[in-house]
Amino acid sequence: MTTVQILCDNNIGRIDFLGEHGFAALIEHDDKTYLFDTGQGHTLPHNVKSGGFKLDGIEAILLSHGHFDHTGGLPWVLEQTGAKKIIAHPAVFARHMARLSPDPAVAPLYIGPPQTQEAFEAAGAIFDFREETGAVAPGFHFITAYARQPEQTPGDRQLVLPQGEGHVPDPIAEDANLLLETPSGPVLVLGCAHGGVLNILDHVKTTFGITRLHAILGGTHLMFYAPEQIRAAIEAFEAFDVKVVGVSHCTGPQAAMTLAQHFGDRFQQAAAGSQFVF
């Protein structure tokens, strides 16, 4: 049995949980537990306590990318776990920034991890950097460094990296996701899908030979897709014969409504407090 418990999300799925702009999920797979992302850190302690979950026995922490709404809770998590392996792409500590004002005179805001790599290591982090897709455990894969077709990649122009005297678009090169082999079938868990969910699906198909997915969960970044790209995503989900579409976080309300209308009973909101059992 594999269980995906959503700990942090923009929305809530049970009354004793709190919501925030961010994502975190507790994953039980083959009798081991993993934490995927940590949200901003505001709601994680409350939701872990309300759900009666324990973090001190987790096998490892996995990070989808280096934004604050996925890494902000890491200092608190390390307080609970002590020394712990953290699996991430090495670009997770890139100087991620967001240009929130249309006025070019307003400097971009730093939106990366709340601490440096050295500070995290002093708190017990043992980084296991992965520059390519590979196994975390039997039937558990870390998906990263996938090819990106421009027409399938969301354009989030706010995101930039410092370069010289100015800034350049930030591709979030470290974007990572998870593929779980479950008794129900393969399950894809997305952190934010910054490189494009369609590109991720292409990578899963070419790398693993998978043509069917039981579920797609997490942040799809469809809020930055044009209507025709959302339609292409729906067609791709159908081509993979997805039985459970459980989206959250950066999917966006309009895209989520479009997915709900199309998939009907197959659609679920992967809100904080929601649990998926396979």
Q: What is the CATH number of the domain that holds 239?
A: 3.60.15.10
Q: Is 83 exposed, middle or buried (0-12, 13-18, 19+ CB in 10 A)?
A: exposed
Per the structure, the count of domains in the chain is: 1
One pLDDT digit (tens) per residue for the chain, 278 residues: 999 999 999 999 999 999 999 999 999 999 999 999 999 999 999 999 999 999 999 999 999 999 999 999 999 999 999 999 999 999 999 999 999 988 888 999 999 999 999 999 999 999 999 999 999 999 999 999 999 999 999 878 899 999 998 999 999 999 999 999 999 999 999 999 999 999 999 999 999 999 999 999 999 999 988 899 999 999 999 999 999 999 999 999 999 999 999 999 999 999 999 999 99
pTM over 0.85: yes
Q: Burial, 168: exposed, middle or buried (Cβ in 10 Å; 0-12, 13-18, 19+)?
A: exposed
Spatial neighbors of 113 by CB under 8 A, at least 6 apart, are: 66, 68, 71, 72, 74, 92, 93, 120
Q: Write down the pLDDT at residue 265.
A: 97
Q: What is the pLDDT of residue 233?
A: 96
For residue 171, what are the domain limits?
Answer: 2-277
CA nearest to 232, candidates 266, 191, 188, 196? 196
